[in-house]
């Protein structure tokens, strides 16, 4: 059994948890991200619905959307990207080391990462990525784009998930 919990970023960092969702055999899906700062403060959460997508494409789009929001809108330079897809995290890490990739989203993510030295990528178990998972599922079931930039604006269910992270709720995974 493995125990996992969400951990806050170090001071001066923002943490971008992201996730993708594909439903109905890829006919529709969603991307979601949750950005939090030190001391568990929610900075932003967003997502959008996708059509004709794969789970890996949705995950990449979520990474791009979360990183772009953190870099462009929040003007953050110290960022930790976390996702529960080891494949997507591996692609991004290989791309940042200069190992070639032909996927335009990976190239774009790597370009955003090159501008700053303090951008890290980490794989986490799904149990530690619950808020982003919820955001991706929410986006998959609702049309258009959703973005919340203040904690008080967040849907109650998402606020509850963030609260469980705040109190250090431990989630178990059977391996």
Q: What is the mean pLDDT of residues 60-89?
A: 96
Q: How far apart are the first and last CA of the chain?
A: 6
3-state secondary structure of 26: helix
Q: Where does the pLDDT of residue 144 fall: very low under 50, low under 70, confident under 90, or very high at 90 and above?
A: confident
Nearest alpha carbon to residue 31 among 105, 90, 98: 105
Spell out the residues 6+ positions from residue 13 whose beta carbon is closer than 8 angstroms to its own: 37, 38, 78, 79, 80, 118
CATH code of residue 55: 3.30.420.10
Q: What is the mean pLDDT of residues 67-71?
A: 96
**To 10 degrees, the CA torsion angle through 126, 111, 94, 174?**
0
Q: Is this structure's pTM higher than 0.85?
A: yes
Taking the C-alpha atoms of residue 92 and residue 88, their distance in angstroms, rounded to an integer, is 6
Taking the C-alpha atoms of residue 147 and residue 154, their distance in angstroms, rounded to an integer, is 9
Token code pair at residue 55:
């789970």
Tell me the pLDDT tens digit for each residue of 5-58: 999 999 999 999 999 999 998 899 999 999 999 888 899 999 999 999 999 999
Domain with 158 in it: 2-173
Nearest alpha carbon to residue 49 among 134, 131, 145: 145
3-state secondary structure of 63: helix
CA 145 to each of CA 22, 43, 84: distance values in angstroms, whole numbers, following the listed order: 16, 17, 22
Q: According to the model, what pLDDT value does residue 172 have? A: 87
**SS3 helix, strand, coil % of the chain, rounded to 5?**
45, 30, 30
Domains: count for the chain:
1
Taking the C-alpha atoms of residue 40 and residue 46, their distance in angstroms, rounded to an integer, is 17
Beta-strand runs (E) in 125-175: 145-148, 171-173
Tell me the pLDDT tens digit for each residue of 91-135: 999 888 777 677 899 999 999 988 666 899 999 999 999 999 999
Q: According to the model, what pLDDT value does residue 115 have? A: 66
Q: Above 70 in pLDDT, residue 151?
A: yes
């Amino acid at each position: 059994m493995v125990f996992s919990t969400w951990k806050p970023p170090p001071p001066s960092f923002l943490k971008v948890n992201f996730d993708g969702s594909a439903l109905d055999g890829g006919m529709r899906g969603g991307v979601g991200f949750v950005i939090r700062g030190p001391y568990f403060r929610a900075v932003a959460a967003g997502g959008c619905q996708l059509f004709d997508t794969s789970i890996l494409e949705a995950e990449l789009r979520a990474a791009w959307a979360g990183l772009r929001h953190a870099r462009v809108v929040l003007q953050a330079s110290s960022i930790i990207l976390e996702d529960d897809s080891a494949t997507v995290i591996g692609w991004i890490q290989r791309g940042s080391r200069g190992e070639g990739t032909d996927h335009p989203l990976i190239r774009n993510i790597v370009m955003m990462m090159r501008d700053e030295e303090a951008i890290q990528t980490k794989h986490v178990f799904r149990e530690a990525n619950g808020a982003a998972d919820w955001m991706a599922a929410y986006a998959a079931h609702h049309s258009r784009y959703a973005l919340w930039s203040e904690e008080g604006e967040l849907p109650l269910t998402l606020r509850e998930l963030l609260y469980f992270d705040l109190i250090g709720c431990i989630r178990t995974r059977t391996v």
